């Protein structure tokens, strides 16, 4: 799990809660907070950690992630009804 944003008490608290919830459900989970521009930061994190698939969900401030063509395979989008 990765949060793209500043290393703040709020972000750390949210990350710790999410990791604890996953672990209590029996999952192995690791997490990080990375500062930077979202698309580039996720692309770099994906490459550094040999990740095949990213699963993204809503955030408290931005709603659903829109189009991530640089992170996901070509012609793949998570925006509802997107035909990019």
**pLDDT digits 0-9 by tens, 34-50:** 999 888 898 899 899 88
Which tokens hold the place of 64? 């659903």
- Smallest CA-to-CA distance from 4 within 48, 59, 82 is with 59
What is the pLDDT at residue 71? 45
What gap in Å lies between CA 18 and CA 70, rounded to an integer? 26
Residue that wins the pLDDT comparison between 72 and 51: 51
The average confidence (pLDDT) of the chain is: 75
> Tokens 């998570």 correspond to what residue?
78
Scanning the chain, the segments in alpha helix (DSSP H) are 9-24, 38-48
pTM, whole model, 2 decimals? Answer: 0.65
What is the pLDDT at residue 50? 87
């Amino acid at each position: 799990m990765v949060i793209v944003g500043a290393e703040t008490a709020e972000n750390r608290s949210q990350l710790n809660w999410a990791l604890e919830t996953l672990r209590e459900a029996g999952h192995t989970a690791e997490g990080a907070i990375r500062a930077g521009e979202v698309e580039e930061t996720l692309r770099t994190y994906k490459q550094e950690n040999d990740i095949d698939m990213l699963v993204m969900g809503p955030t408290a401030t931005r709603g659903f992630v829109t189009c991530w063509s640089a992170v996901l395979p070509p012609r793949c989008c998570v925006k509802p009804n997107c035909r990019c």
